[in-house]
Amino acid sequence: MHTKITDSIYSVGILNPNLRIFDIVMKTDYGTSYNSYIVKGSEKTALIDCNHKTYFKQYIENIKEICPLEEIDYIVLNHNEPDHSGTLGELLALMPQVQVVASKVGALYIKNIANRDDIQFIIAKDNDEISLGDKMLKFINAPFLHWPDSMFTWVPEEKTLFTCDFFGCHFCEPSAFDYNIVYGSYYEKALKAYYDAIFGPFGSHVKKGLEKIKELDMEFICTSHGPVLTKRGRWQEVLAKYEEWSAPIKNDKPLIPIFYCTAYGNTGLLAESIRDGILETIDADCEIYDLVDYDMEAMQWKLNTCDAFVIGSPTINKNAVPPIWNLLAGIDMINSMKKSCAVFGSYGWSGEAVPNLCQFLTTLKLNVFEESLKVTFVPSDQDLEKAKELGRAFAQSL
Ligand code: FEO
């Protein structure tokens, strides 16, 4: 099923309200959509961003509601991950006449997604244009929003900007437009979660992207996930949010969270003593977090916005425990390199959690404090003093 956006722009993507996990790691409590658009000019027609190959059959039917496949002249791919470019191979088999428009980096990705060497590319550089007759496609390079290949496509005659993932979110309601959103608070939650996961590491690039589009007289922003943003709806509000979220984060005092898990309370006792040692030494915001009791996304946000952190795990099955690894799976590797951290843990038999964590964090190029603390079973008074000393020494090193 398609939706008309303007007299010459149609949404032909797929709604997936039931999706609950995207790309293995992102929770999608409100489903998602894989948006794709057709722009019809007086002479030429373009398909902008494609789709996930799982939904190819329905996607083709949606396109055919607007025009026969042989009438499509260009496929513009603003960004290339398989949720957008995954259908390209199948589309090209049905539309051999099509020229594919992408950034230079995008063309490289596409060759490896479609596994074809015979694609006719038009490489779009910043400010390049393609005429559709009475309408123009104008390309705006937007690297790292959120991959190196990303670009936007601007259709001035329709005051419509196509941004792919930028301004998008995993949210799905039957209407394509933001002014029809029924569950507004859920949309806002989905928008923030998407920003944090996808654009959080790229704040400076977000700023540059916003700067590039600020003079455009936009009526519609057509993203690749979630509702179309409109001037009468939410686009000013979403732009303002992006301005706010991309501002550099400055903590009033050093933020040094202590993350841990504890099987019998022993690693937890060490966490408390390390915190006491830190707070004896410097004025810091130093809270302890048993990961079992907190929302993982909130913890990952803290991990990525802190100045330094301490992490502790008991040893189970010769390793740190899963919540600790889950936390570290969300680390922002663009901005976390050289961040200081220290490691500790209580154990019963062999205590591999501490060395495993130290090794992993060193591999990620974090600045792992040279001293770590391993304690067998229940920490003695001496062990707790050692933990406090670790806190003092770590704080002094910052
Ligand atoms: Fe929606 Fe970066 O793919």
Q: What is the pLDDT along the chain (398 residues), one digit of tens a residue?
A: 899 999 999 999 999 999 999 988 889 999 999 999 999 999 999 999 999 999 999 999 999 999 999 999 999 999 999 999 999 999 999 999 999 999 999 999 999 999 988 898 999 999 999 999 999 999 999 999 999 999 999 999 999 999 999 999 999 999 999 999 999 999 999 999 999 999 999 999 999 999 999 999 999 999 999 999 999 999 999 999 999 999 988 889 999 999 999 999 999 999 999 999 999 999 999 999 999 999 998 999 999 999 999 999 999 999 999 999 999 999 999 999 999 999 999 999 999 999 999 999 999 999 999 999 999 999 999 999 999 999 999 999 99
For residue 183, the number of C-alpha atoms closer than 13 Å in the C-beta half-sphere is: 13
Q: Which two tokens stand for residue 95?
A: 């539309």
Nearest protein Cα to ligand 1, atom 3: 81
For position 166, what pLDDT does the model report?
98
Q: Are 241 and 200 in contact (CB under 8 A)?
A: no
Q: Which two tokens stand for residue 179?
A: 């002014």
Classify 14 as helix, strand or coil: strand
Give the separation between CA 226 and CA 184, rounded to whole angstroms.
Answer: 12
Length, in residues, of the chain: 398
Atom of ligand 1 nearest to the CA of 147: 2
Nearest protein Cα to ligand 1, atom 1: 165
In the reported structure, the alpha carbon of residue 319 is separated from the centroid of ligand 1 by a whole-number distance in angstroms of 33
Atom of ligand 1 nearest to the CA of 164: 1
For position 44, what pLDDT does the model report?
98
Q: Which residues sit opposite 74 in a β-bridge?
A: 46, 99
For position 398, what pLDDT does the model report?
96
Pocket of ligand 1 (CB under 6 A): 79, 81, 83-84, 146, 165, 224-225
β-pair type (9-11, 37-40): antiparallel
CA dihedral 117, 122, 127, 132 (to 10 degrees): -140
Give the separation between CA 3 and CA 175, rounded to whole angstroms.
Answer: 8
Classify 346 as helix, strand or coil: strand
Q: Are 38 and 63 in contact (CB under 8 A)?
A: yes
In the reported structure, the alpha carbon of residue 16 is separated from the centroid of ligand 1 by a whole-number distance in angstroms of 15
In the reported structure, the alpha carbon of residue 59 is separated from the centroid of ligand 1 by a whole-number distance in angstroms of 17
For position 357, what pLDDT does the model report?
98
Report which of 281, 272, 142 is spatially closest to residue 216, judged by C-alpha positions. Answer: 142
Atom of ligand 1 nearest to the CA of 79: 2
**Contact residues for 185 (Cβ-Cβ < 8 A; gap 6+):** none
Atom of ligand 1 nearest to the CA of 165: 1
* Cα 325-362-255 angle, rounded to 5 deg: 70
In the reported structure, the alpha carbon of residue 143 is separated from the centroid of ligand 1 by a whole-number distance in angstroms of 13
For position 1, what pLDDT does the model report?
86
Alpha-carbon torsion 348, 354, 357, 360, what sign? negative
* Cα 348-374-395 angle, rounded to 5 deg: 150
The neighbour count for residue 365, using CB atoms within 10 Å, is: 12
Give the separation between CA 112 and CA 85, rounded to whole angstroms.
Answer: 10
For position 24, what pLDDT does the model report?
86
In the reported structure, the alpha carbon of residue 165 is separated from the centroid of ligand 1 by a whole-number distance in angstroms of 5
Give the separation between CA 176 and CA 11, rounded to whole angstroms.
Answer: 8
In the reported structure, the alpha carbon of residue 10 is separated from the centroid of ligand 1 by a whole-number distance in angstroms of 20
Report which of 97, 98, 93, 44 is spatially closest to residue 75, judged by C-alpha positions. Answer: 98
Q: Which pTM value belongs to this model?
A: 0.90
Three-state secondary structure string covering 20-47: CEECCCEECCCCEEECCEEEECCCCEEE
β-pair type (21-22, 26-27): antiparallel
**Contact residues for 174 (Cβ-Cβ < 8 A; gap 6+):** 15
β-pair type (258-260, 229-230): unpaired
Q: Are 35 and 224 in contact (CB under 8 A)?
A: yes
Identity of residue 255 = L
Q: Which two tokens stand for residue 343?
A: 């490691």
DSSP letter assigned to residue 98: P
For position 89, what pLDDT does the model report?
93
CA dihedral 314, 318, 323, 324 (to 10 degrees): 70
β-pair type (340-347, 288-290): unpaired
Residue 76 Cα to chain centre, angstroms: 22
Atom of ligand 1 nearest to the CA of 224: 1
